[in-house]
């Protein structure tokens, strides 16, 4: 039942619309909305326009959509169930803090110190009520410290299981790859053994790094297994731990219903990875698991295969892979006879040729500069040091095979250099190596045609794209990462992977609805749905507030419906 009541405060009467309903058999006020003073109501009825004194624009669409995905994944509930109930003096549960951290990583990555200020620019406080001070950076740290390494593994297992069930992600194709991320940890910090000096793939050799192995689905590039490891460990040494976790996590999917652990299912999952994971130990492990695999071999390690004439190659599939030809054979590699697919791609050949031309141009400039210095006769370098300089100049891949260099003279003033590109040697190099890949697999031709092997190997783009996304500083980013203890770094890695999972699921949902958008484009479109806060200042007291959403275009309207944003929108 709805009624209008008046309240007299300091001689002024203020009117409210009140709705009363029975709750548990007893009458209870379920809704109360402020209407204003009599003059305000009269002006509204008369059609008069009351202008707000000021407005604010709050982030809504992207924040609400990501939160909706986190709710569907039950992230906070899973974390709280594993970690346990929050302390009585905590601002929010541990799961809520992790969900907030993941939300921020997707939308607008910032430090925990800056989080509270960022949160104030969003409409999130309407659907997530938090006490004052709950978003202090120290509360986040306390929540992160409450999660142990074993907890993280259990949480991710349960989260991925919920994700696969909720979103029906196809697991038949799996891709594994590894990368590393720079940290800002002092060299003398002994509380973060995971951050070590190593080969930085971000070219930040001045910083300590931590490694990350990911297994993602070819269905949308959604993360399924993550494994963080010290940055000084070679990638190949982490393959076993990642594969073992993969098999453990999906054991119910890897075995058929009738068989036991010794029976391989009819439909086995396929793991794809690059040649960097090749080792005898890794293939001994793979051969003992219920996994198919598709990998690759360095072409230069198999010269007899590169020497096979062109007429042995045949077209793979002109529609799916234009310009690709291949032949098949078998060879004993890593202890067993394997099926090999030797491919030649016209597009890859041309790309490698262009890149090599650029490399040769740079080499030519460096040699010309050195030859000019020597011709002036004023160098003080001995012949041995000049030869060392020449070795460094021709060190890039394949250059020494096609560049002929002649250095004459013994004394520094008499040294002279001449050089030229051997075009015949370059042509032979291109014929031998350019455009060629050697793929290999445990799948028989009856289990997978040549085109399928090629398609599965090329699915590595899914995980490579994920790593590029995590290194995007604007959205779904690993950086900034200003944590300085082992436990916090591992938790940071976890919620960054969750952020990637959410982003990929959102793109996948949009794609299935006919909206083909990148992560950035999707979030940018959602961010365009803002919440406008209209503030009306009365004669005294706090201003009245009215909220509404900004106008939506056609794409935003579809995304609004797809991600159930109406349940988060302000009610008029």
Please report, to the nearest 10 degrees, the dihedral formed by the alpha carbons of residues 465, 468, 474, 478 taken in order.
110
In this structure, are residues 22 and 28 in contact, taking their beta carbons and an 8 Å threshold?
yes
- Provide the residue-wise pLDDT of the chain in tens; the chain has 572 residues: 677 888 888 778 888 877 777 766 777 776 777 777 877 777 666 555 667 778 889 999 999 999 999 999 999 999 999 998 777 777 899 999 999 999 999 999 999 999 999 999 999 999 999 987 899 999 999 999 999 999 999 999 999 999 999 999 999 899 999 999 988 888 888 888 898 988 888 888 888 999 999 999 999 999 999 999 999 999 999 999 999 999 998 876 554 443 444 444 446 789 999 999 999 999 999 999 999 999 999 999 999 999 999 999 999 999 999 999 999 999 999 999 999 999 999 999 999 999 999 999 999 999 999 999 999 887 888 999 999 999 999 999 999 999 999 999 999 889 999 999 999 999 999 999 999 999 999 999 999 999 999 999 999 999 999 999 999 888 999 987 888 899 999 999 999 999 999 999 999 999 999 999 999 999 999 999 999 988 877 766 777 778 889 999 999 999 999 999 999 999 86
Q: Which token pair is 471?
A: 């290194």
Please state, in angstroms and rounded to a whole number, the distance separating the CA atoms of residues 485 and 274.
Answer: 32
* Helix orientation angle between 280-287 and 239-249, rounded to the nearest 10 degrees: 10
Annotate 491-533 with DSSP letters as a single string. Answer: HHHHHHHHHHHHHHHHHHHHHHTT----HHHHHHHHHTSEEEE
In this structure, are residues 205 and 180 in contact, taking their beta carbons and an 8 Å threshold?
no
Please state, in angstroms and rounded to a whole number, the distance separating the CA atoms of residues 552 and 528.
Answer: 8
Write phi, then psi, for 283 (nearest 5 degrees): -80, -30
Please state, in angstroms and rounded to a whole number, the distance separating the CA atoms of residues 518 and 507.
Answer: 7
| Alpha carbon separation from 183 to 142, 207, 414, 483 (Å, rounded) | 21, 6, 50, 8
| Coil, helix or strand at residue 297 | strand
Please state, in angstroms and rounded to a whole number, the distance separating the CA atoms of residues 231 and 223.
Answer: 21
Q: Which token pair is 248?
A: 């453990």
Please state, in angstroms and rounded to a whole number, the distance separating the CA atoms of residues 173 and 463.
Answer: 12
Picking from 177, 176, 231, 225, the residue whose alpha carbon sits closest to that of residue 202 is 231
Q: Which token pair is 417?
A: 């250099």
In this structure, are residues 440 and 341 in contact, taking their beta carbons and an 8 Å threshold?
yes
pLDDT of residue 514: 97
Annotate 43-98 with DSSP letters as a single string. Answer: HHHTT-----SEEEEEE-HHHHHHHHHHHHHTHHHHHHHHH-PPPTT-SS-HHHHH
pLDDT of residue 55: 81
Please state, in angstroms and rounded to a whole number, the distance separating the CA atoms of residues 503 and 469.
Answer: 10
Annotate 329-360 with DSSP letters as a single string. Answer: EEEEETTEEEEEEEEEEHHHHHHHHHHHHHHH
pLDDT of residue 265: 41
Q: Please, what's the b/e burial string for 246-267 (b: 16 or more CB within 10 A of its CB; e: otherwise)?
A: bbebbeeebbeeeeeeeeeeee
Give me the residue label for tokens 């794609």. Answer: 511
Q: Which token pair is 256?
A: 């058929």
| Alpha carbon separation from 211 to 194, 195, 440, 460, 481 (Å, rounded) | 8, 8, 26, 18, 14
* Sequence-ordered alpha helix ranges (H) in 412-449: 423-432
Picking from 270, 271, 59, the residue whose alpha carbon sits closest to that of residue 176 is 271
Q: Which token pair is 77?
A: 């509930």
pTM for the full predicted model: 0.84
| Coil, helix or strand at residue 382 | coil
Picking from 407, 399, 402, 410, the residue whose alpha carbon sits closest to that of residue 371 is 407
In this structure, are residues 439 and 459 in contact, taking their beta carbons and an 8 Å threshold?
no
Q: Please state, as a whole number, how many other Cβ atoms lie within 10 Å of the Cβ of residue 514.
A: 7
Give me the residue label for tokens 């106008």. Answer: 551
Q: Which token pair is 112?
A: 């925990």
| Coil, helix or strand at residue 180 | strand
> In what helix (H) or strand (E) does residue 176 lie, and over which residues does it extend?
strand 173-182
pLDDT of residue 496: 96
| Coil, helix or strand at residue 409 | coil
| Alpha carbon separation from 299 to 302, 306, 307, 396, 440 (Å, rounded) | 6, 7, 11, 17, 12
* Sequence-ordered alpha helix ranges (H) in 459-485: 461-470
In this structure, are residues 139 and 119 in contact, taking their beta carbons and an 8 Å threshold?
no
pLDDT of residue 61: 97
Pairing of strands 269-272, 173-182: parallel
What is the DSSP code (8-state) at residue 22? E
In this structure, are residues 560 and 552 in contact, taking their beta carbons and an 8 Å threshold?
yes
| Coil, helix or strand at residue 230 | strand
> In what helix (H) or strand (E) does residue 547 lie, and over which residues does it extend?
strand 544-549
Burial (CB count <10 Å: 0-12, 13-18, 19+), residue 432: middle
């Amino acid at each position: 039942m709805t009624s209008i009541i008046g309240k007299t405060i300091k001689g002024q009467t203020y009117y409210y619309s009140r709705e009363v309903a029975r709750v548990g058999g007893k009458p209870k006020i379920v809704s109360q909305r402020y209407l204003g003073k009599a003059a305000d109501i009269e002006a509204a009825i008369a059609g008069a326009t009351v202008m707000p004194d000021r407005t604010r624009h709050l982030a809504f669409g992207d924040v609400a959509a990501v939160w909706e995905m986190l709710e569907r994944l039950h992230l906070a509930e899973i974390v709280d169930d594993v970690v346990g109930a929050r302390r009585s003096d905590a601002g929010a549960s541990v799961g809520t803090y992790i969900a907030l951290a993941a939300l921020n990583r997707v939308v607008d990555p910032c430090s925990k110190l800056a989080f509270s200020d960022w949160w104030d620019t969003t409409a999130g406080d309407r659907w997530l009520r938090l006490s004052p001070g709950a978003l202090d950076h120290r509360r986040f740290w306390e929540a992160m410290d409450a999660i142990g390494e074993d907890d993280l593994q259990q949480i991710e297992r349960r989260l991925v299981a919920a994700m696969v069930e909720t979103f029906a992600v196809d697991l038949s194709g799996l891709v594994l790859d590894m990368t590393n991320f720079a940290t800002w940890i002092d060299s003398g910090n002994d509380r973060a053994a995971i951050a070590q000096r190593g080969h930085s793939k971000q070219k930040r050799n001045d910083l300590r790094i931590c490694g990350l192995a990911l297994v993602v689905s070819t269905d949308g590039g959604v993360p399924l297994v993550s494994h963080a490891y010290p940055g000084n460990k070679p990638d190949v040494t982490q393959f076993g731990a990642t594969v073992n976790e993969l098999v453990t996590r999906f054991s119910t999917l890897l075995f058929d219903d009738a068989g036991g652990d010794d029976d391989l299912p009819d439909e086995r999952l396929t793991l794809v990875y690059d040649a960097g994971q090749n080792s005898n130990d890794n293939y001994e492990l793979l051969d003992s698991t219920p996994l198919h695999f598709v990998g690759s071999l360095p072409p230069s390690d198999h010269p007899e295969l590169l020497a096979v004439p062109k007429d042995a190659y045949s077209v793979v599939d002109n529609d799916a892979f234009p310009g690709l030809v291949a032949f098949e054979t078998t060879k004993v590699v890593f202890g067993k006879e394997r099926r090999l697919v030797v491919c030649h791609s016209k597009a890859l050949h041309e790309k490698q040729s262009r890149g090599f031309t650029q490399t040769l141009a740079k080499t030519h400039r460096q040699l010309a500069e050195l030859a000019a210095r020597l011709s002036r006769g004023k160098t003080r370098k001995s012949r041995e040091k000049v030869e060392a300089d020449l070795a460094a100049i021709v060190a890039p891949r394949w250059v020494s095979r096609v560049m002929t260099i002649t250095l004459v003279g013994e004394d520094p003033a008499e040294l002279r250099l001449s050089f030229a590109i051997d075009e015949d040697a370059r042509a032979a190099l291109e014929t031998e190596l350019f455009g060629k890949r050697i793929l290999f697999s445990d799948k028989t031709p009856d289990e997978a045609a040549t085109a399928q092997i090629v398609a599965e190997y090329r699915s590595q783009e899914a995980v490579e794209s994920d790593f590029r996304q995590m290194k995007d500083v604007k959205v779904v980013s690993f950086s900034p990462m200003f944590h300085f203890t082992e436990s916090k770094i591992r938790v940071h890695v976890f919620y960054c992977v969750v952020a990637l999972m959410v982003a990929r699921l959102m793109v996948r949902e949009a794609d299935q609805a006919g909206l083909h958008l990148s992560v950035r484009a999707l979030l940018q479109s959602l961010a365009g749905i803002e919440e406008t806060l209209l503030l009306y200042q009365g004669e005294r007291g706090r201003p009245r507030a009215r909220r509404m959403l900004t106008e939506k275009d056609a794409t935003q309207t579809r995304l609004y419906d797809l991600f159930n944003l109406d349940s988060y929108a302000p009610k008029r």
